[in-house]
Amino acid sequence: MRRRRPLRLTISVWLVVLVAIGLLLWAGLPDEKQPATTSGGELLVAVLDVGQADSIFVRSPSGRTMLVDAGNERKDVEGVILPYLQRRGVSSLDYLVLTHPDQDHVGGMPALIDSLSVSTFVDPVHPDETNQAYLQTLQRVQRKGIKAVKARRGQTEIDLGADTPVQLLAPEDPLLNDDRSFNNANSIVLRIRFGSVGVLLTGDIEETTEDRLLGHHDDLHSQILKVPHHGSRYSSTPAFLDAVQPEVALVSAGEGNSYGHPHSQTLERFDQRGIELFRTDQQGTIEVVSDGQQYKITTAKKGG
Ligand SMILES: [Zn+2]
């Protein structure tokens, strides 16, 4: 017995080593079904699958949290946004940003504010706005004592930590009088930077706003572009794309939506530039995780 024991030990050791190698190989393989993991020190940007609407969650490397838009309605909040935040262990938001008071961005906001605590509400403040969900949002912000900040280019500070500067690039006064949509044209545009990685969140801006941003000669370069206006053909103009130089385009759109978003002409512009496309209508929620140098993208469904 005593002589056989070392042999058994050796076999056990080899088995452990082989299993360990197998596990390492398996863990190293990209798997789109695996949720992206963030330990501390990473930037997370998630374009949530709220159908033909927008809701984007951001967690900075220092753990600060921001939600940009809140979907169409209560159902999006209860069925998608809150369950996602719960899975991420998020029970409060440092910032709640409304890009513009259209239903597919503001609709879920009253229900959201009822469900978790928010420190600061970033408001585009468009005059004469009558959307009911927007008015209810403003009432709740006031009632709950949430700090409200008017969003204007160069005047609004969003603090996600020193290592993650956020620039608020639009809207600016005087607000744009766009023939197609006043609200879309005066959406909040944010550029988030972490190390050498840039993320551009564009609400529903179209050509007029893109042109205005280009006129400022801002450094728009961002590897990650949340595609403006759900992939409308009136947005993502060639000049804008050439300034942003995105490597990946994230589209938030509803399956079979009546607008035909994202538009084939827009997709062609991405294709011509070798920009990789991700879309919530086919792949579900899209998560980007970055260490400030590289980034990894995972999607809830394979799709595409
Ligand atoms: Zn929209």
pLDDT in tens, 14-68: 666 666 655 555 554 444 334 454 556 999 999 999 999 999 999 999 999 999 9
Q: How far is the CA of 156 from the centre of ligand 1 (A)?
A: 22
Q: Quick check: 111 and 85 in contact, CB under 8 A?
A: no
Task: Place 70 in a pLDDT band, splitting at 50, 70 and 90.
Answer: very high
Q: How far is the CA of 120 from the centre of ligand 1 (A)?
A: 22
Q: What is the mean pLDDT of residues 273-296?
A: 98
Q: How far is the CA of 252 from the centre of ligand 1 (A)?
A: 9
Q: How far is the CA of 104 from the centre of ligand 1 (A)?
A: 5
Three-state SS at 118: strand
Q: Quick check: 99 and 105 in contact, CB under 8 A?
A: yes
DSSP state of 52: S
Q: Beta partners for 282? A: none
Q: How far is the CA of 142 from the centre of ligand 1 (A)?
A: 25
Rounded Cα gap, residues 143 and 203, in angstroms? 27
Residue-level pLDDT at 29: 43
Amino acid at position 4, single letter: R
Residue-level pLDDT at 209: 98
Q: How far is the CA of 109 from the centre of ligand 1 (A)?
A: 14
Three-state SS at 274: coil
Q: How far is the CA of 14 from the centre of ligand 1 (A)?
A: 57
The residue extents of the domains of the chain are 36-299
Q: How far is the CA of 172 from the centre of ligand 1 (A)?
A: 19
Q: How far is the CA of 187 from the centre of ligand 1 (A)?
A: 10
Rounded Cα gap, residues 304 and 299, in angstroms? 10
**Nearest C-alpha neighbor of 276 from the set 299, 301, 243, 293:** 299
Beta-carbon contacts of residue 193 (< 8 Å; ≥ 6 apart): 164, 165, 166, 167, 199
Q: How far is the CA of 7 from the centre of ligand 1 (A)?
A: 67
Q: What is the mean pLDDT of residues 131-160?
A: 98
Residue-level pLDDT at 13: 62
Beta-carbon contacts of residue 246 (< 8 Å; ≥ 6 apart): 200, 222, 223, 224, 225, 275
Rounded Cα gap, residues 286 and 188, in angstroms? 21
Residue-level pLDDT at 20: 62
DSSP state of 175: P
Rounded Cα gap, residues 200 and 190, in angstroms? 6
Q: Which two tokens stand for residue 22?
A: 């197998």
Q: How far is the CA of 41 from the centre of ligand 1 (A)?
A: 31
Q: Which two tokens stand for residue 166?
A: 């956020």
**Nearest C-alpha neighbor of 185 from the set 165, 214, 208:** 208
Rounded Cα gap, residues 133 and 120, in angstroms? 18
For residue 88, the Cα-to-chain-centroid distance in whole angstroms is: 15
Q: How far is the CA of 99 from the centre of ligand 1 (A)?
A: 9
The answer to whether residue 243 scores a pLDDT higher than 60 is yes
Q: How far is the CA of 259 from the centre of ligand 1 (A)?
A: 11
Q: How far is the CA of 216 from the centre of ligand 1 (A)?
A: 24
**CATH number belonging to domain 36-299:** 3.60.15.10
How buried is 282 (Cβ within 10 angstroms: 0-12 exposed, 13-18 middle, 19+ buried)? middle
Q: How far is the CA of 204 from the centre of ligand 1 (A)?
A: 5
Q: Which residue has the higher pLDDT, 299 or 37?
A: 299
Task: Place 225 in a pLDDT band, splitting at 50, 70 and 90.
Answer: very high
